[in-house]
Structure 1
Amino acid sequence: MFGKKPQIMKAILSVKEKKYLSPHFIRIILEGDINVFSDAKIGDNNKIIVPTNNKETFILPSLEKNNNSEKPIIRTYTTRNIDFLNKTLTIDFVAHGEDSPTSKWAINAEKGHQLGVLMKAKSKPLYLDANWYLLVGDHTALPVISVMLEKLPKETKGKAIIEVHSPEDILELKKPVGFEIEWIFNKNPGKEQKLIDAFSSTPFPNCSKYIFVACEYKSAKQIREYSRNMEDTHLSSFQILSYWKYGQSEDSSAEERRKERIKN
């Protein structure tokens, strides 16, 4: 017997506050009917629906497959924080110009601008239990890695390898005392793959490990191939995700990235 499909929670939220965490990261705090997302947790994925015109009242579009209206712009983001007491939801955006609809929206967002937010009720854990952790990601994965570092037990040992545009994009992250953070700088993300070198040069302890990787398609694929040849792969739990593909929009690369994810 098939289980019920997860319920989709949805709301139209408004910008309460916006601030640049660094030259390439924008934090936007949204307010509204946050209680709709009562089952959501910090670190959960959410789907945002970007309005095409901030000057008009935003109406959630129909998501029915047979709907003939213009396809809405939907992107996946990490719930950086959710505060039911103050009725706010926080999302961190990468600011990389106005060619991307979400980056453009975040750069131009002002107090009161609206955004559609969707979530599914789910119980998938943010990470798996292990004695040692390796968290690897580029600028797009910084929000979820930040949440993992905050949520891991204080005694956790491990390492995070994070690729950002420049030293100016280094953020002060809350982390377990025994966790090392290595920052890598790449002004041409996607065009240059630097994470694989940092990953392959990392010494792995002889214990149970959880390895999380989220980055550009080619980098994720290279790291996946390298990890398959690790001698003690059977002792580790891997989660390797492709968040984007260089030279392609999220919509056009979605199916290819999904198939690559299934190979994990």
Structure 2
Amino acid sequence: MPRPRVPHNFIVQRTQRLTDHLIRVHLGGPAFDTFQPSGFTDAYVKLQFPGPDGDTVRTYTVRSIDPAAREIAIDFVYHGDEGVAGPWAAAAQPGDPLTMFGPGGAYAPRPEADWHLLAGDDSALPAIAAACAALPADARGRVFVEVGSAADELDVDRPAGVTLTWVHRGDAAPGENLVAAVRAEPWPDGRVQVFIHGEAQAVMHTLRPYIRKERGVPADWASVSGYWRLGRTEEGFRTWKRELSDQEGEPVGGRS
């Protein structure tokens, strides 16, 4: 779903250090009145970070919206000085401004699915957690999340019939252990709805063929795409996705 190009000028209310590598920023202020939720659990926004060489735009998932507090929460993966958004989140203070565009989105759990498969890495954890919270109480499903180590695990609210497996990356390449875990999981009977996002090489070249071809999940029941690409900036990743879409003759999906 295309994102509206309407700026929302939010103000940082507070921040939370969830783990050593994950920071939650709560945004509020008058812009809360202009922000219209998309209705999707993978709702994403474009965040505009000012810098000495001009503004830098990065894409992030809305983790939650709190109408009572009039706040939007966004989780940032943080690895020291690496990147633009993570260091900004680590240094953010109440009162700091942040311009946002959106939201877009395309996925939400279907209540008529017999079971759900959700998988991804740190970058997909906010969308996965939001989807788990939106599942019906009687939902069945399998969830796999790849993180650096046990120190990066979080509590994720989910129905009793949904199992969660934390996959530790360790020294493996991003997505390598996630791919192995998903492929090794027994495949239940019934119609499945799939949401898999993360490092593009692992997701697009390995898990998407497994889901679409080996398991036969139709495109409208499978949201499978990359959120990022190892070794590429977001601008470079968008170019990579366009090239892949041209090669395959169909849209590759995901945030754009």
Secondary structure of the 2:48 match is strand
1-side partners of 2:6 and 2:120: how far apart? 28
Q: Conserved in 1, the CA contact under 8 Å of 2:40 and 2:108?
A: no
The Cα offsets for residues 215-247 of structure 1, whole Å up to 9 and x where unpaired, read as 101111211122244254359821111011111
Secondary structure of the 1:79 match is strand
Q: Conserved in 1, the CA contact under 8 Å of 2:175 and 2:199?
A: no
2-side partners of 1:7 and 1:191: how far apart? 32
Tell me which moved more, 90-99 or 38-47: 38-47
Runs of at least 5 residues in structure 1 that lack an aligned partner in the other structure: 54-69
Q: Using the TM superposition, give the Cα deviation of residue 99 of structure 1 relative to its aligned residue in structure 2, in angstroms.
A: 2.1
Q: Using the TM superposition, give the Cα deviation of residue 97 of structure 1 relative to its aligned residue in structure 2, in angstroms.
A: 2.2
Question: Following superposition of structure 1 onto structure 2, how do residues 1-264 of structure 1 map, counting pairs within 5 Å?
Answer: 7-33=4-30, 34-41=32-39, 43=41, 44-52=43-51, 72-120=55-103, 124-128=106-110, 129-188=112-171, 190-191=173-174, 193-220=176-203, 221-233=205-217, 237-260=221-244, 262-263=251-252
Q: Using the TM superposition, give the Cα deviation of residue 83 of structure 1 relative to its aligned residue in structure 2, in angstroms.
A: 2.5
Cα 1:224–1:123 shift into 2, 3 Å: closer
Q: Conserved in 2, the CA contact under 8 Å of 1:211 and 1:236?
A: no
Tell me which moved more, 70-79 or 189-198: 189-198
Cα 1:198–1:123 shift into 2, 3 Å: closer
Q: Conserved in 2, the CA contact under 8 Å of 1:41 and 1:79?
A: no
Runs of at least 5 residues in structure 2 that lack an aligned partner in the other structure: 246-250
Q: Conserved in 1, the CA contact under 8 Å of 2:107 and 2:223?
A: no
Cα 1:9–1:127 shift into 2, 3 Å: farther
> Which amino acid in structure 1 is aligned with residue 221 of structure 2?
S
Query: Kindly, what percent of the aligned residue pairs are identical?
Result: 26
Tell me which moved more, 43-52 or 6-15: 6-15
Cα 1:105–1:6 shift into 2, 3 Å: closer
1-side partners of 2:48 and 2:173: how far apart? 25
- TM-score where L is the length of structure 2: 0.86
CA RMSD of aligned residues (A): 2.4
Q: Using the TM superposition, give the Cα deviation of residue 51 of structure 1 relative to its aligned residue in structure 2, in angstroms.
A: 2.3
> Which amino acid in structure 2 is aligned with residue 100 of structure 1?
G
> Which amino acid in structure 1 is aligned with residue 83 of structure 2?
S
- TM-score where L is the length of structure 1: 0.83
